[in-house]
Amino acid sequence: MDTKIFTPDQIQAAAAELKKGNLVSFPTETVYGLGADATNVSAVKKVYKAKGRPSDNPLIVHVADVETVEKYAQPLDENVKKLMKTFWPGPLTIILKLKPGALAKEVTGGLDTAAFRNPNKQSTLNLIQAAGVPLVGPSANTSGKPSPTLAKHVYHDLNGKIAGILDDGATDFGVESTVIDMSTDKPAILRPGAVTVDQIERVIGPVDDAVHHVSADQVPKAPGMKYRHYAPDAQVQVVDHKDDWKRAADWIKGQDETVGVMATDDVIDSINWPQNAELYSLGKDVSTASHLLFAGLRHFDLENGVDNILTQGFPATELGEAYMNRLNKSAGQKHFE
Strands (E), the chain: 4-6, 24-27, 32-37, 60-62, 92-97, 113-117, 135-136, 164-166, 178-181, 188-191, 235-239, 259-263, 277-281, 308-312
Q: Which residues are annotated as a binding site for ATP?
A: 53, 57, 113, 139, 147, 191, 230
For residue 113, which phi and psi values (nearest 5 degrees)? -125, 165
**pLDDT of amino acid 224:** 58
Indicate whether 29 and 135 sit together in one domain.
yes
Indicate whether 240 and 186 sit together in one domain.
no
Domain range for 63: 4-204
Distance (Å, whole) CA 309 – CA 53: 25
Distance (Å, whole) CA 89 – CA 56: 27
Indicate whether 199 and 243 sit together in one domain.
no
**pLDDT of amino acid 209:** 87
* 151 in a structural domain: yes
Indicate whether 311 and 243 sit together in one domain.
yes
* 211 in a structural domain: no
Q: Which residues are annotated as a binding site for L-threonine?
A: 30, 62, 117, 177
Q: How many domains does the chain have?
A: 2
**pLDDT of amino acid 226:** 47
Distance of CA 122 to the CA centre of its chain: 18
Indicate whether 239 and 192 sit together in one domain.
no
* 275 in a structural domain: yes
* 155 in a structural domain: yes
Indicate whether 156 and 271 sit together in one domain.
no
* 226 in a structural domain: no
**pLDDT of amino acid 192:** 94
* Contact residues for 331 (Cβ-Cβ < 8 A; gap 6+): 235, 236, 237, 238, 311
* 75 in a structural domain: yes
**pLDDT of amino acid 233:** 87
What's 299's domain CATH number?
A: 3.40.50.11030
Q: Which residues are annotated as a binding site?
A: 30, 53, 57, 62, 113, 117, 139, 147, 177, 191, 230
217: DSSP letter: T
* 217 in a structural domain: no
What's 28's domain CATH number?
A: 3.90.870.10
**pLDDT of amino acid 55:** 67
* 221 in a structural domain: no
Q: What is the mean pLDDT of each run of 10 residues along the chain (337 residues)?
A: 95 98 97 97 95 82 98 98 98 97 92 96 98 96 91 96 98 93 95 95 94 56 59 92 96 96 98 97 97 94 85 96 94 94
Beta bridge partners of 95: 115, 181
Indicate whether 168 and 284 sit together in one domain.
no
> Residue 13 class from Cβ within 10 Å (0-12 exposed, 13-18 middle, 19+ buried)?
middle
Indicate whether 54 and 199 sit together in one domain.
yes
Distance (Å, whole) CA 102 – CA 74: 10
**pLDDT of amino acid 302:** 79
Indicate whether 168 and 293 sit together in one domain.
no
